[in-house]
Amino acid sequence: FTSTPASPAYAGSTYLAAASGGGSTQPVVLSSGSPSICSVSGSTVTFVQSGSCVIDADQAADDAYAKATTAVQQVSVVAAPQTVTFTSRAPSHAVVGQHYVMTATHTGSANPVMFAAATSAKCTVAGSTVTFKAAGTCTVAAGVAGTAAYAPGVATQQIVVRKITEKPTLSAHSPKAGR
């Protein structure tokens, strides 16, 4: 092989493989020895999922030369990372009893983003809605599950939750007559 793949190679990416042959006038033909991990079309290798990709290079015989020995290149393929990003802005003045609806996006798989509370004593999550239960720091997570091609991804937000403060109420008293 006269080419070197990225290390590591990520599932979902491609690599332009090249190999030189022996004395035969026949072309070098590339193929996949592990089609569930990678596929080959011409000289383009597509990494399908994590595992060990085996690329075979073969050259057939011609009138003067015998078939060349198969050359093998192994490539370690890993799941591509997924980046999760909160698109909602956490409230800056969260108070006990308040709700906040989270939104997030991610790169990678078609899996949905799921939300959870990492500090269940301070807050709970139902679907994408956080309910603040107690004063302190509420930590919420937005995550996406991994697949054969993508690693799991997660992002967190920390929200300071305060107790509800009651404002004193003023009552108006009329001055007593004669004062």
Q: pTM here? A: 0.71
Distance CA 95, CA 164 (A): 6
**Could you tell me the CA-to-CA distances from 149 to 45, 73, 146, 173 in Å, in that order?**
15, 21, 8, 73
Residue 156 has pLDDT above 80, yes or no: yes
The pLDDT value recorded for residue 171 is: 58
Closest C-alpha to 49, from 34, 28, 70: 34
Q: Per residue in 34-84, pLDDT tens?
A: 999 999 999 999 999 999 999 999 999 999 999 999 999 999 999 999 999
- Band (pLDDT 50/70/90 cuts) for residue 165 is confident
The predicted model gives 89-94 an average pLDDT of 93
Chain-centre distance for alpha carbon 114: 13
Measured over the CA atoms of residue 156, residue 160, residue 163 and residue 169, the dihedral's sign is negative
24, 17, 115: which is closest to 75 by C-alpha? 17
pLDDT at residue 164 tops 70: yes
